[in-house]
Amino acid sequence: MRRVGLRLLMALVGVGLLGLYLAVGVVLVEGVALLFVGRPDPWVLVGGIVASALFFGYLSYRVGTRRLVTGLDAVELPRDRAPWLYQRLDRLRGEMSVGEPRVFVASLPAPNALAVGAGEGVVILDRDLFRILDGEELEAILAHELAHLETRDALLQTLGSSLVETASGLLFLLLFPVGLLLAGIGRVGAWLAGRRPEPFGHHLVRVHYRVSQVVVVLLLALTLALRAHSRRREIRADDRAVEVTGDPLALARALARIQRASRPRLGPLSSLYIYGQEEADTLSRLLATHPPMDDRIERLVERTERSRAAIPVR
């Protein structure tokens, strides 16, 4: 008899909790409705969120250029210290749609180069590049970096990352209340079945974990798309550099020398460097910011061979 009474009491608790959860749900829905009294068009709302993400991404990009230069302890290279370099830079600029970028020199984790395009643009060269590359090879590297400035690749990468972060955060905010509701229904079911449920804190941790898993899947998919775009832009920058220098072998030699001189571990800056992280397994290749260096070099060598084969023999 006591057991039947206990089961009945637990069922009543379950029904009471269900009513409480429903009441809280109604209050939350009404609260959200008050925030959107005008019931804006969903597309207008989405457009506002996207515009906000792009705006803050652009602000981050503008501020980030200065912080990047400062963080790398980069020193601007005066024109009178390297007139030969600026002569080559000016010649390249005359053939490309870029402004007059500021050239900085820094001690990077490995021989490398990068370009970001706030203002007229900034090109940062590692000090060792002046030691391991000859004039034509360094000119090819400059052309590659100017190609990134020409197409504003760093800006597009930053805006894309901002959109990914916004989409992930928004999805979490949308799914978390749903997860809480399902957890509440699960607790109600336990009471109705005569079982004492786990403490609510355990359910909260589990809901957070499950919702995070869904968000991580979305984040991974969007990140893979961004990284694929990053690899394509490296190929386009290689091709553009060859187009303006007319010397694919110079860029191939430069990349090969950089590869031999370094095994970089560059972290979040990897997508900005001319040579990024490369891994062997499939997932790491999909997440890589750069195509394999050997593939890039092989493309450039094949391009040279095709050009030579196209020249008629006299």
The per-residue pLDDT for 201 is: 63
The per-residue pLDDT for 276 is: 59
Low-confidence ranges of the chain (pLDDT < 50): none
Q: Which residues neighbour 186 within 8 Å (Cβ) at sequence distance 6 or greater? A: 197, 203
On whether the CB atoms of residues 106 and 123 are closer than 8 A, the answer is no
The per-residue pLDDT for 303 is: 85
- Number of Cβ within 10 Å of residue 198's Cβ equals 14
Backbone angles phi, psi at 105, to 5 degrees: -120, 135
The per-residue pLDDT for 213 is: 77
The per-residue pLDDT for 106 is: 94
Across 28-120, the runs of DSSP E, i.e. the strands, are 75-76, 102-106, 113-116
The per-residue pLDDT for 230 is: 87
Mean pLDDT of the residues in the chain? 78
Assigned token pair, 29: 């829905």
For Cα atoms 288, 291, 292, give the angle at the middle one, nearest 5 degrees.
100
pTM, entire model: 0.72
The per-residue pLDDT for 22 is: 61
The per-residue pLDDT for 168 is: 79
**Among candidate residues 171, 162, 151, 157, the one with its CA nearest the CA of residue 97:** 151
- Number of Cβ within 10 Å of residue 53's Cβ equals 21
The per-residue pLDDT for 52 is: 79
Across 59-156, the runs of DSSP E, i.e. the strands, are 75-76, 102-106, 113-116, 122-126
In the chain, the amino acid numbered 17 is L
3-state DSSP call for residue 114?
strand
* Host H or E run for residue 40: none
DSSP collapsed to 3 states, 68-82: HHHHCCCEECCHHHC
The per-residue pLDDT for 42 is: 64
